[in-house]
Structure 1
Amino acid sequence: FFFFSIFTIFHFLLRSHEPTSPSFSTHRLPHTKPTTVPVGPQRNMAASLQRICGRGCRNIGASLSPISRQFSSSASDALVETKPGEIGMVSGIPHEQLRRRVVIYSPARTATQQGSGKLGKWKINFVSTQKWENPLMGWTSTGDPYANVGDSALSFESEAAAKDFAARHGWDYVVVKKYQTPLLKPKSYAENFKFKGLPEAEGK
């Protein structure tokens, strides 16, 4: 019991000499979460640390801003730089096919098409010379692998998009101007029986 009493007194003395933790007060503002604010000397210490950190951060930001502007300007210049035909060189297309000439045109409306829903598209068609007529059936044959590519796949929404595609693949292109289709005024069945004037006399 004697040793236990001495140990208890010694432990109490050690606890009494430990540094006390800083006192904090909690303030609750309306419609906000509770925040912990230092009181006493800790408030002055926090303010001085904030001032020192603020100055250092501003100095670091001011010193790094010219470097960041330099890198951003160089990155923008690199993005603007383009070379015509660079996509065609790395796409695996044979070099003899990259030097071909293509025709950019807008297809006209067919004879059996009355609406205008499929009009306005632009296509790229290859100028093919390797064609011959089959002597047995009269069908047109071709040995050109790009003879039917333009009609089936290469369709664009605008003339500029078709030009950009041809330039990026390194093709020389010729643009055929679009024919403006006149707007047809619908007529009623009564137009067939409408009086259109006196008939012209024969022999004039």
Structure 2
Amino acid sequence: MKKALIYVPNKSPMQSGIAKNAKWVLEFKTKNPTKNPLMGWESSSDTLTELKLKFSSKELAINYAKKNKINYELIEPKKRKTVIKSYADNFLK
């Protein structure tokens, strides 16, 4: 049986904003990873691990998984806590 993760990816370190991080990703988990004896790389004979599907909403990703009989694990994004600061606050303390 296929097992997948549904999550919102983190922003890259090169991004300062969070405007384009609204996509949900369905990514399959690796089955039986093996270590390549020559190079030491991790490999697998499961080609589904190379597949990442992007959806515009969480509901679409869940519906796709249910329709295709994929067991999934949903990882909810954490809420960002923003602190509103003023430049003048640097000089008031």
- Specify the TM-score bucket, using the shorter chain as the normaliser: 0.7 to 0.9
Task: Report runs of 4+ in structure 1 exceeding 6 Å deviation.
Answer: none
Aligned to 2:59: 160
Is structure 2 residue 12 aligned with structure 1 residue 110?
A: yes
CA distance in 1, matches of 2:11, 2:64: 24
Aligned to 2:50: 148
TM-score normalised by L of structure 2: 0.77
Change beyond 3 A, Cα 1:103–1:165? same
Aligned to 1:131: 33
Query: What is the alpha-carbon root mean square deviation over aligned residues?
Result: 2.6
Aligned to 1:122: 24
Aligned to 1:195: 91
CA distance in 2, matches of 1:127, 1:115: 29
Is structure 2 residue 67 aligned with structure 1 residue 171?
A: no
CA distance in 1, matches of 2:26, 2:50: 10
CA distance in 2, matches of 1:133, 1:187: 52
TM-score normalised by L of structure 1: 0.39
Identity between Structure 1 and Structure 2 (%)? 27
CA distance in 2, matches of 1:196, 1:159: 44
2:17 aligned partner, one-letter code: G
How far is 1:137 from its partner? 3.4
Runs of 5+ in structure 2 lacking a partner? none
1:29-59 deviation per Cα after TM superposition (whole angstroms, max 9, x unaligned) = xxxxxxxxxxxxxxxxxxxxxxxxxxxxxxx
Question: Which structure carries more helix by proportion?
Answer: 1
Q: Which of structures 1 and 2 has the bigger CA Rg?
A: 1
Runs of 5+ in structure 1 lacking a partner? 1-98, 198-204
CA distance in 2, matches of 1:184, 1:156: 30
CA distance in 2, matches of 1:141, 1:133: 6
Question: Which structure carries more strand by proportion?
Answer: 2
1:127 aligned partner, one-letter code: K
Q: Which has the higher contact order (CA 8 A, sep 6+)?
A: 2
Q: Secondary structure at the match of 1:117?
A: coil
Given that 1:108 and 1:179 are in contact with CA atoms closer than 8 Å, whether structure 2 keeps it comes out as no
Give the paired residue count: 93
CA distance in 2, matches of 1:186, 1:137: 50
CA distance in 2, matches of 1:196, 1:131: 56
